[in-house]
């Protein structure tokens, strides 16, 4: 059992080092994060989402007399005081906020249908966009987006593909297949308003064609570099065959912007979580307002959670202990402490803490999930299967099904592995790509049904 955990940790470390080799300057590259880590950081299991996730409640819809925050990011990377880089920790906290608060991340097709054809969308909708096509969008943002099942769009500069810190062709193809759609940001990041109509048309057409060649599908959307455009830009965008275009400023996107000049909400590395929340909940927000963050136990907890997600188990345990010192009933802190201990070779103490969380709140889905995960980590498969089921009683969480599937995979039980993997893939398509690489399924990989599912 101990050996198994060691192997797992070695595997985690080796994936981290592989990442570092690709990109020396970042300490947080998780392009090949193992599924167990993802499962371990399920954030949809918290008290808030349990309260609001009753499966049959219809979502409140909104129509296009209202706007939608189309969030604009660039690079997701740590760099102090660089507004176009948002740190991984901030990005993770922002996505967790969206998930915990039942936001839907729309594709640009859905945004287009909403604005042009008044096809309703959930009241709490956002659109996630990234400009320029930085490599860290793949290495850092993508695993987080995948974890939450969020769609997003990356606007790439077609001549920069594969250069320096920009995405390469194979990353672009993989992202595009997995719900992170690629669209155009011109050929060389030209300030369109400085070009003649013909030159504008040329860069708009050429970038569209080269991306279409790469992805074998229509490219329909464009983000203007620097947000710069003039009357000719709109004409050229139409002539080149785009059906929607985004600028870089303004507030929420709505019908009155015009489909070729839609606003976006800029989220910079200088914005804290509360400013993010303010901007996506206030359609007429004040550009100059920066909301001050109060240190609460909840915000301390998000730090413990983020530390765990970053495999900084010691730090996660220390922050959790501080929270417990202040409030001995803060059950979520025991849970993060517990699972962090389990990832630090301390199964018994870890389980004690997870149980403490579950004593305080027996219906804590994430606690039940972590109990299953801890059992799984230490090879207690029967108990793990039981607790994944108990977690599923509370929340229909994709990684609980995946956990069950992977245990059956290791046991060589192909029909059950396929059964649960099917459910997980139906809930979140990107799970399939995960399963293709997952060692846990090696024993059942040659099974006919399994091969059929992996097609
Ligand atoms: Zn740009």
Residue 58: per-residue pLDDT:
47
Indicate the SS3 state at residue 446.
coil
Measure 356 CA to ligand 1 centroid, in angstroms. Answer: 49
Measure 186 CA to ligand 1 centroid, in angstroms. Answer: 9
Residue 59: per-residue pLDDT:
64
Residue 22: per-residue pLDDT:
27
């008044």: which residue's tokens?
118
Residue 81: per-residue pLDDT:
75
The one-digit pLDDT tens for each residue of the chain (455 residues) are 333 333 333 333 333 333 222 222 333 333 333 334 444 444 333 333 333 333 444 468 999 999 999 999 999 998 877 888 999 989 999 999 999 999 999 999 999 999 999 999 999 999 999 999 999 999 999 999 999 999 999 999 999 999 999 999 999 999 999 999 999 999 999 999 999 999 999 999 999 999 999 999 999 999 999 999 999 999 999 999 999 999 998 899 999 999 999 999 999 888 888 899 999 999 999 888 877 765 678 888 988 998 998 899 999 999 999 999 989 999 999 999 999 999 999 999 999 999 999 999 999 999 999 999 999 999 999 999 999 999 999 988 899 999 999 999 999 999 999 999 999 999 888 899 889 999 999 999 999 999 999 98
What backbone torsions phi and psi does residue 384 show, to the nearest 5 degrees?
-60, -45
Measure 148 CA to ligand 1 centroid, in angstroms. Answer: 26
Report in angstroms the alpha-carbon separations of 147 from 36, 95, 126.
Answer: 12, 10, 17
Indicate the SS3 state at residue 134.
strand
Residue 41: per-residue pLDDT:
40
pTM of the model: 0.61
Segment (H or E) for 203: helix 197-215
Given a contact cutoff of 8 angstroms between Cβ atoms, the answer to whether 316 and 308 are in contact is yes
Which positions ≥6 away from 75 have C-beta within 8 Å?
A: 84, 85, 86, 132, 134, 136, 137, 165
Using CA atoms, how far apart are residues 384 and 395, in angstroms rounded to an integer? 16
Measure 76 CA to ligand 1 centroid, in angstroms. Answer: 14
Measure 204 CA to ligand 1 centroid, in angstroms. Answer: 14
Measure 140 CA to ligand 1 centroid, in angstroms. Answer: 19
């920066």: which residue's tokens?
290
Measure 149 CA to ligand 1 centroid, in angstroms. Answer: 25
Measure 189 CA to ligand 1 centroid, in angstroms. Answer: 6
Measure 11 CA to ligand 1 centroid, in angstroms. Answer: 37
């Amino acid at each position: 059992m101990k050996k198994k955990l060691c192997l797992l940790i070695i595997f985690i470390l080796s994936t981290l080092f592989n990442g570092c080799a690709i990109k020396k300057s970042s300490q947080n590259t998780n392009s090949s994060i193992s599924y167990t880590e993802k499962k371990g950081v399920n954030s949809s299991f918290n008290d808030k989402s349990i309260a609001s996730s009753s499966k049959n409640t219809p979502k409140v819809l909104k129509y296009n007399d209202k706007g939608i925050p189309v969030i604009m990011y660039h690079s997701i990377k740590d760099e102090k005081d660089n507004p176009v880089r948002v740190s991984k920790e901030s990005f993770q906290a922002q996505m967790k906020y969206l998930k915990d608060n039942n936001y839907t991340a729309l594709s640009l097709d859905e945004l287009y249908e909403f604005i042009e054809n008044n096809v309703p969308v959930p009241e709490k909708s956002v659109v996630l966009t990234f400009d320029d096509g930085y490599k860290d969008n793949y290495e850092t943002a993508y695993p987080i987006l995948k974890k939450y099942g969020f769609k997003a769009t990356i606007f790439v500069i077609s001549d920069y593909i594969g250069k320096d810190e920009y995405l390469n062709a194979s990353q672009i193809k993989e992202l595009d297949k997995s719900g992170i759609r690629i669209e155009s940001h011109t050929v060389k990041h030209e300030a369109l308003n400085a070009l003649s109509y013909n030159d504008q048309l040329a860069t708009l057409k050429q970038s569209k064609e080269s991306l279409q060649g790469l992805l074998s599908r229509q490219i329909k959307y464009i983000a203007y570099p620097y947000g710069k455009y003039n009357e000719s830009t709109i004409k050229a965008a139409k002539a080149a065959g785009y059906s929607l275009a985004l600028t870089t400023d303004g507030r929420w996107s709505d019908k009155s912007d015009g489909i070729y000049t839609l606003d976006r909400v800029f989220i910079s590395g200088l914005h804290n979580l509360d400013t993010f929340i303010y901007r996506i909940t206030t359609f007429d927000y004040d550009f100059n307002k920066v909301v001050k963050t109060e240190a609460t136990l909840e915000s301390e907890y998000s730090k413990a959670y983020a530390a765990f997600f970053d495999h900084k188990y010691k730090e996660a345990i220390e922050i959790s202990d501080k929270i417990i010192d202040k409030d001995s009933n803060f059950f979520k802190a025991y849970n993060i402490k517990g699972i962090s201990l389990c990832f630090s070779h301390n199964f018994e103490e870890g389980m004690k803490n997870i149980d403490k969380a579950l004593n305080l709140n027996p219906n804590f889905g994430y606690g039940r999930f972590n109990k299953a995960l801890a059992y799984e980590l230490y090879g207690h498969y029967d108990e793990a299967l039981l607790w994944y089921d108990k977690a599923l009683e509370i929340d229909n969480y994709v990684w609980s099904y995946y956990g069950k599937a992977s245990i059956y995979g290791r046991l060589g039980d192909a029909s059950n592995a396929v059964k649960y993997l099917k459910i997980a893939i139906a809930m979140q398509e990107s799970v399939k790509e995960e399963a293709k690489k997952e060692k846990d399924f090696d024993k059942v990989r040659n099974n006919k049904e399994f091969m059929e599912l992996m097609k």
